[in-house]
């Protein structure tokens, strides 16, 4: 097959709020080749991502993404890996490249799977599609009472693990943060795993993070996620040395496998969290999954948007041991929830597996998200480089 077209679509809610909810807008990529269509999602700011797709060449290491992809062959997984290397090399100096490429790469897996009638995890060479234990991923409430109610809701819904993050956490006092964590634990009861996400709030301030550890230990928190920005590997390492039972989790911002490897090698992580929609797709995420295993660090997906993104994010560790955690967005926007006609569902034990359909195994509901489609036009010197294409399968 030859990659005939790559079309990119931006979506957004009518009113995007200034909160830590990454499901308020969305970038979808549609690839066509050999009579088949694949879909992928970028976890990325839409407008800069569109511009990165169509950017005019600046020099040999600074090409737009589509320029490196269109017209190339797509017959097996090695072709996807080859294109990933090509895009990385020709996009070296265009920082946004991995965020944009991720959606294309995922769409290539979906397309190739459909052409072969095989699920993406089989294409990837995974020997098994093991069950994951989904944790409900939610924002802290503005006050402990709201957090308590959200935690009760999660417990009532049958989840066996839950994560609370962002919102006020880390922005007030140590005591206020402790109350939030205690409220989450109270709402969940003693049996449900509790995870806490600080959303990089302490930047690289190790003492500020360490001050929260006693409350986290008391609540039996499994991991503290992103106390620091992802690049502050030394700060992760320093905090890991000061923690008893609470493990550190991080890596969602990793935009290539090398960045994730730094955190694994030098950051003292217990869990490395990878977003396939940012790191360069399923191939790059799978590299990290393999490396993490070899170093005794547990791989976990990062997903806060749609079930299309969720499915792509589970492929890289489909064959890791059964029962490992996975992130499962439970309060995503109508946009992110609407895009899949056949969302991933939990089995009666509350566990999650990838579907067995070809590619990512999902049907998209384009009519459901059409109201959110953004009409974008980018013109340079009178030439239209991008105009929102027709939204269709």
For binding to a copy of itself (CB under 8 A), which residues are involved?
A: 12, 16-22, 24-25, 43-48, 50-52, 54-62, 64, 85, 88-89, 92-96, 98-99, 166, 199-200, 203-204, 229, 231-234, 253, 255-256, 258-259, 261-262, 265-266, 278, 374-382, 385
Q: CB nearer to a copy of itself: give 22 or 113.
A: 22
Q: How far apart are the first and last CA of the chain?
A: 18
Q: How far is the CB of 90 from a copy of itself (least distance, A)?
A: 9
Q: How far is the CB of 320 from a copy of itself (least distance, A)?
A: 23
Q: Is the dihedral of CA 138, 143, 146, 147 positive or negative?
A: positive
Q: How far is the CB of 198 from a copy of itself (least distance, A)?
A: 12
Q: CA-CA distances (angstroms) from residue 295 to 131, 147, 265, 314?
A: 22, 35, 8, 20
Q: How far is the CB of 312 from a copy of itself (least distance, A)?
A: 17
Q: CB nearer to a copy of itself: give 200 or 313.
A: 200
DSSP element (H, E) containing 369: helix 366-369
Question: How far is the C-alpha of 163 from the C-alpha of 288, rounded, in Å?
Answer: 23
Q: CB nearer to a copy of itself: give 24 or 130.
A: 24
**Beta-carbon contacts of residue 13 (< 8 Å; ≥ 6 apart):** 24, 25, 333, 334, 335, 372
Q: CB nearer to a copy of itself: give 25 or 225.
A: 25
Q: Is 121 exposed, middle or buried (0-12, 13-18, 19+ CB in 10 A)?
A: buried
Q: Would you say 317 and 287 are in contact if contact means Cβ atoms under 8 Å apart? A: no
Q: How far is the CB of 124 from a copy of itself (least distance, A)?
A: 21
Q: CB nearer to a copy of itself: give 259 or 362.
A: 259
Q: CA-CA distances (angstroms) from residue 280 to 57, 93, 287, 367?
A: 20, 15, 11, 28
Q: CB nearer to a copy of itself: give 58 or 117.
A: 58
Q: How far is the CB of 203 from a copy of itself (least distance, A)?
A: 8
């Amino acid at each position: 097959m030859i990659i005939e077209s790559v079309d990119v679509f931006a979506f957004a809610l009518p009113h995007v709020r200034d909160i830590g909810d990454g499901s308020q807008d969305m970038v979808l990529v549609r690839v066509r080749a050999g009579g088949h269509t694949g879909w992928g999602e970028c976890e990325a700011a839409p407008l800069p991502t569109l511009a990165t797709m169509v950017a005019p060449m600046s020099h040999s290491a600074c090409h737009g993404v589509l320029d490196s992809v269109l017209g190339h062959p797509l017959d097996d997984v090695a072709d996807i890996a080859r294109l990933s290397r090509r895009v990385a090399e020709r996009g070296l100096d265009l920082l946004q490249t991995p965020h944009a490429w991720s959606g294309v790469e995922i769409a290539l897996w979906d397309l190739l799977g459909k052409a072969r009638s095989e699920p993406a995890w089989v294409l990837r060479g995974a020997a098994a599609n093991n069950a994951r234990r989904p944790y409900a991923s939610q924002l802290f409430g503005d006050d402990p009472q709201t957090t308590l109610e959200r935690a009760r809701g999660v417990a009532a819904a049958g989840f066996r693990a839950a994560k609370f993050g962002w919102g006020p956490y880390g922005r007030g006092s140590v005591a206020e943060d402790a109350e939030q964590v205690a409220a989450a634990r109270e709402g969940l009861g003693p049996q449900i795993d509790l995870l806490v996400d600080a959303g990089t709030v302490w930047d690289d301030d190790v003492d500020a993070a360490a001050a929260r550890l006693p409350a986290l230990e008391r609540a039996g928190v499994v991991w503290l996620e992103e106390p620091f920005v992802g690049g502050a590997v030394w700060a992760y390492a320093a905090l890991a040395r000061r923690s008893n039972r609470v493990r550190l989790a991080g890596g969602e911002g990793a935009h290539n496998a090398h960045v994730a490897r730094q955190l694994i090698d030098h950051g003292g992580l217990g869990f490395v969290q990878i977003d396939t929609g940012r790191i360069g797709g399923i191939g790059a995420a799978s590299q990290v999954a393999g490396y993490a295993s070899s170093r005794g660090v547990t791989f976990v997906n990062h997903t806060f948007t749609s079930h299309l993104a969720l499915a792509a994010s589970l492929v890289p560790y489909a064959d890791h041991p059964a029962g490992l955690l996975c992130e499962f967005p439970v309060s995503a926007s109508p946009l992110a929830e609407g895009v899949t006609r056949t969302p991933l569902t939990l089995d009666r034990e509350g566990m999650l597996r990838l579907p067995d359909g070809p590619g990512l195994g999902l049907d998209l509901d384009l009519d459901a998200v059409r109201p959110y489609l953004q009409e974008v036009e980018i013109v340079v010197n009178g030439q239209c480089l991008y105009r929102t294409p027709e939204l269709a399968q």
